Amino acid sequence: MRLTDAEALSFDCYGTLIDWEAGIAAVLVPWARAHRLTLSAEELLERYAVAEARQEELTPRALYPDILDAAMRRLGATLGIDVSAEEGERLAGSVAAWPAFADSPRALARLATRYKLVILSNVDRTSFAASNARLGVRFDAIITAQDVGSYKPSPRNFDVLVDTVRALGVADGRLLHVAQSLFHDHVPARTLGLPTVWIDRRGERAGWGATPPPGIAVEPDFTFPSMAAFAAACFATDNLLDTSSD
């Protein structure tokens, strides 16, 4: 199978298309400094990742802004800090300000000329609408945690994805899932038998940033450092499924 054999591409949004680490750090770093914490941005992101994943597991039907608020309070508790309502709201309402990666809009526009594009995201509809405006592309289907009633890495989200793509008329085996997070996306997608594309946005940076470690070994079918590199490969002629690109 080649990348060009796919009929549809499903995308995680935050971490893959939208720079959620920059968005989250823009709130957490000033908060930490105001409370005289000496943790670096990377340390804050890694601690926050654990708090958010746990909150999503505990309250799978909560809207994403409420997850953000509760996760920040959980993070504060681990650091011995009471998070105020104003501080929690600052993170809860920040999604609309999270920037798109510079290459995302152009790459998506190019990919839309060949593939059906689907979003599978751990947010609510309102939050994604703000991000979609930054991406500037029309997706053929949008699936949020609000629609499913659970958060990735729940396999339920990927079952809904498969059913949605079938309803679009895409043949089985013609879907590629594209994501940055091994934990949220690649582990459950590969367990379901979906081929995956890893957009390794962190590259050679140490640690896992705003996503928890995957917990188990997982092998994406393709690896690219950016959406731009992925889009370029999709229009090449020698992109075999068992190869990766630097």
Spell out the per-residue pLDDT of the chain, length 246, in tens. Answer: 689 889 999 999 999 999 999 999 999 999 999 999 999 999 999 999 999 999 999 999 999 999 999 999 999 999 999 999 999 999 999 999 999 999 999 999 999 999 999 999 999 999 999 999 999 999 999 999 999 999 999 999 999 999 999 999 999 999 999 999 999 999 999 999 999 999 999 998 889 999 999 999 999 999 999 999 999 999 985 444 444 444
Topology (CATH level 3) of domain 20-97: DNA polymerase; domain 1 (1.10.150)
The per-residue pLDDT for 174 is 97
5, 12, 140, 242: the catalytic one is 12
Topology (CATH level 3) of domain 3-19+99-234: Rossmann fold (3.40.50)
The per-residue pLDDT for 2 is 81
**Residue 12 annotated among the catalytic residues of the structure:** yes
CA distance 77 to 99: 28
What 3 state SS string does 131-183 have? HHHHHCCCCCEEEEHHHHCCCCCCHHHHHHHHHHHHHCCCCCCCEEEEECCHH
Domain ranges of the chain: 3-19+99-234, 20-97
End-to-end Cα distance, the chain? 19
The per-residue pLDDT for 236 is 86
SS3 95: helix
